[in-house]
Amino acid sequence: MPTFVTSDQLTLYYEDAGSGLPVLCLSGLTRNARDFDFVAPHLQDVRMIRLDYRGRGQSQWSTDPLTYTVPREAQDVLELLDHLGLAQAAILGTSRGGLIAMVLAAMAKHRLLGVALNDIGPVLAPQGLDVIMGYLGRNPDAATLDALAVMRKSAMEANFPDVPLDRWRKEVSHTHRETPQGVTINYDPGLRAAVLAAGATGAPDMWPLFKAISPLPLAVIHGANSDLLSHDTVSQMAQRMPGLIVAHVPDRAHIPFLDEPDALDALRRWLGQMA
């Protein structure tokens, strides 16, 4: 199992597959390397690197959950690149991963080749944050993963119409485990305390972090029904960043799976700018 040890002595899991342009895939807040299983078959001409953040997936939990912060996780990313001997990589960041990418653009842009943001931007809509805080760090009330998949499909159907049940079954298995006591989350529940301690809203003004990405190739993939990234914010992003590749993915909220045609088209155009 490929791992590396961070400067504060945590063992973190990663995956490294394929060849070509190095694309470091950074997952959502509670998620892990499996976040990119749906898009991976469509990105076969790149070197896809995936990281399980500290406290998530197969990575070690910290004795101090308050280290689960975007700046510390950005430092972990740089240490992974060093471990792999990579001077630079493109970043495909989903939600939390996009926030980390923006921080990296501000603190170490020379390590980045480009950034693609999956349903995240410099403004986080309060209603989306409320939804996240509703489940963050808490085990669902489900006896099995099959039952949880049915619950997820029912809850998401309005904003993710026509997504088959087996897709939700795969998705919930990425972030949960089935135990004799019921379904549990597969990440450190202390993540909730860390997010609350950070204010749960990101930096007070993240527009400078977004601007720091310029002039690198940049794409934003927006779930058209998203409750976290608004159409207005995407419009402002495009106005402030000429050349921004924008994909509004229909029938998707937070977050697109990334294998939708509009998402794939944006990703391929973005990758083409770094070829």
Round to whole Å and give the CA distance between 211 and 192: 29
Say which CATH number the domain at 204 has.
Answer: 3.40.50.1820
- Indicate whether 164 and 263 sit together in one domain: no
- Indicate whether 150 and 264 sit together in one domain: no
- Indicate whether 99 and 69 sit together in one domain: yes
Q: What is the pTM of this model?
A: 0.96
Q: Which amino acid is at 15?
A: E
- H helix and E strand count, the chain: 9, 10
Residue 179 phi, psi dihedral angles, 5° rounding: -125, 165
Strands of the chain (E only): list them: 3-5, 11-17, 21-26, 46-51, 89-94, 112-118, 176-179, 182-185, 218-223, 245-249
Closest by alpha carbon to 266, among 47, 138, 107, 119? 119
Q: Confidence class of residue 44 from pLDDT cuts 50, 70 and 90?
A: confident
Q: If DSSP codes are grouped into helix, strand and coil, which group holds residue 217?
A: coil
- Indicate whether 11 and 86 sit together in one domain: yes
- Indicate whether 145 and 9 sit together in one domain: no
- Indicate whether 102 and 133 sit together in one domain: yes
> In terms of residue numbers, what domain contains 63?
3-137+188-272
pLDDT over 60 at 202, yes or no? no
Q: What pairs with residue 179 in β-bridges? A: 182
- Indicate whether 194 and 182 sit together in one domain: no
Residues 255, 223 contacting (CB under 8 angstroms)? yes
Q: For 82-96, what is the mean pLDDT?
A: 98
Round to whole Å and give the CA distance between 247 and 84: 31
Tally of domains in the chain: 2
- Indicate whether 142 and 252 sit together in one domain: no
- Indicate whether 148 and 223 sit together in one domain: no
pLDDT tens-place string over residues 204-235: 789 999 999 999 999 999 999 999 999 999 99
Residues 159, 250 contacting (CB under 8 angstroms)? no
